[in-house]
């Protein structure tokens, strides 16, 4: 199955480490805190501390470093492009010129900005990867459902949203298989997807996606009937088989997170503005 192989969405590395055993809610909240912190970090020192912290998590979770990083590979061109853009385009009046070439001028501020943003994206990616690598999809959705539940009071259909996610996750693979089937059926009838210029190639995509979408809608209709037949009538009155029980380990993790967050906040506030 060529197409399903490339879907890394929610790849989960089963394990029994402390990180794996954490309540999914703890992990989701921790990841949210880490991501929020990332948005404010502007100094290399703070990034250094952040690096040590994430590396420690990766080691505790028993994730091979190569595994944690291999997901970055497809993002590299984008990262490099982003860095180059910042390098040449960001500057203020007081910036020092590093070098200039033709229309482009690189400044020390551009360099700093480029580095910061690239690091930020790298760490964002790493944090979310750690979350998905150590939390199964089902746990993740359970945690999300439980966390979003209070928002029901202000009218957010949280359970329905999570149900939509659960179904989407199940159907990603089904639709990928179906896409594969349609592509092969078209190839069997002589369509060469890899030949022709951009416009010709694009035109060949329509006969693939049209049947895919039509099938997806048909499936959706059948699924609705099947769900209704099994007494589904929205999130109201629904219970869950699995209930989440945070334990001591979650308390410990929470404590560590608070300490780390305090440290980061201190580093962020005390960072000397470079300009």
Partner 1 sequence: MNPLIEAINLSYTYRAGSGKEVKALNGVNLQVARGEILAITGQNGSGKSTLARHFNGLLTPSKGEVLIDGLSAADRINIPAIRKLVGMVFQNPDNQLISSIVEEDIAFGPENLGLPPTVIRDRVNHALESLNLQDLRHEPPNQLSEGQKQLVAIAGVIAMKPKCIVFDEPTAHLDPRGRRKVLESILRLNRDEGITTILLTHYMNEAIHCDRMIVMDRGIVEMEGTPCEVFGRGDRILSLGLDYPVAAQLAQGLRLKGIKMPNDIIHTEEILSYLCQLK
- Binding interface with partner 1 (CB under 8 A): 137-138, 166-167, 169-170, 173-174, 177, 219, 222-223, 225-233, 237-243
Q: How far is the CB of 4 from partner 1 (least distance, A)?
A: 9
31 or 169: CB nearest partner 1: 169
169 or 212: CB nearest partner 1: 169
Q: How far is the CB of 239 from partner 1 (least distance, A)?
A: 5
Whether 9 and 187 have beta carbons less than 8 Å apart is answered as no
Distance, in Å, from the CA atom of 31 to the CA atom of 134, rounded to the nearest integer, reads 12
Residue 190 in tokens: 């002589």
Distance, in Å, from the CA atom of 59 to the CA atom of 62, rounded to the nearest integer, reads 5
Q: How far is the CB of 201 from partner 1 (least distance, A)?
A: 30
Residues whose CB is less than 8 angstroms from the CB of residue 270 and which lie 6 or more positions away in sequence, other chains included: none
51 or 166: CB nearest partner 1: 166
49 or 173: CB nearest partner 1: 173
Cβ burial, residue 93 (10 Å; 0-12/13-18/19+): exposed
79 or 166: CB nearest partner 1: 166
55 or 168: CB nearest partner 1: 168
Q: How far is the CB of 160 from partner 1 (least distance, A)?
A: 13
Q: Which has the closest alpha carbon to 20: 61, 52, 50?
A: 61
Q: Which has the closest alpha carbon to 238: 165, 159, 164, 147?
A: 159
Q: How far is the CB of 169 from partner 1 (least distance, A)?
A: 6
Q: Which residues pair with 104 in a beta bridge?
A: 101
Q: How far is the CB of 21 from partner 1 (least distance, A)?
A: 16
Distances (CA, A) of 62 to 25, 106, 137, 232: 20, 41, 19, 39
Residues whose CB is less than 8 angstroms from the CB of residue 9 and which lie 6 or more positions away in sequence, other chains included: 169, 172
Could you tell me where the DSSP H helices lie in the chain? 2-5, 18-21, 24-40, 44-60, 65-70, 76-89, 108-134, 137-148, 158-188, 198-229, 248-270
57 or 131: CB nearest partner 1: 131
Q: How far is the CB of 153 from partner 1 (least distance, A)?
A: 19
């Amino acid at each position: 199955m060529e197409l399903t192989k490339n879907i890394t969405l929610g790849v989960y590395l089963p394990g029994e480490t402390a990180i794996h055993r954490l309540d999914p809610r703890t992990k989701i909240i921790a990841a949210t805190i880490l991501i929020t912190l990332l948005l404010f970090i502007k100094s290399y020192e703070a990034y250094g501390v952040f690096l040590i912290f994430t590396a420690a998590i990766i080691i505790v979770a028993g994730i091979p470093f190569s595994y944690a990083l291999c997901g970055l590979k497809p993002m590299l061109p984008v990262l490099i492009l982003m860095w180059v853009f910042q390098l040449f385009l960001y500057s203020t009046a007081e910036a020092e010129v590093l070098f200039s070439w033709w229309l482009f001028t690189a400044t020390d501020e551009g360099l700093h900005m480029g580095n910061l943003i690239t690091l930020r994206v790298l760490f964002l990616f790493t944090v979310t990867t750690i979350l998905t690598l150590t939390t199964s999809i089902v746990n993740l959705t359970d945690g999300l459902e439980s966390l979003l539940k209070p928002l029901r009071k202000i009218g957010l259909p949280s359970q329905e949203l999570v149900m939509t996610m659960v179904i989407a996750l199940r159907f990603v693979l089904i639709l990928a298989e179906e896409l594969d089937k349609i592509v092969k059926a078209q190839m069997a009838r002589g369509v060469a997807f890899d030949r022709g210029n951009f416009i010709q190639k694009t035109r060949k995509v329509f006969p693939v996606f049209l049947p895919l979408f039509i099938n997806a809608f048909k499936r959706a209709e059948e699924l609705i009937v099947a769900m209704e037949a099994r007494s589904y009538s929205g999130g109201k009155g629904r219970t869950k088989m699995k209930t989440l029980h945070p334990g001591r380990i979650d308390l410990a993790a929470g404590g560590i997170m608070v300490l780390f967050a305090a440290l980061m906040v201190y580093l962020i506030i005390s960072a000397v503005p470079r300009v």
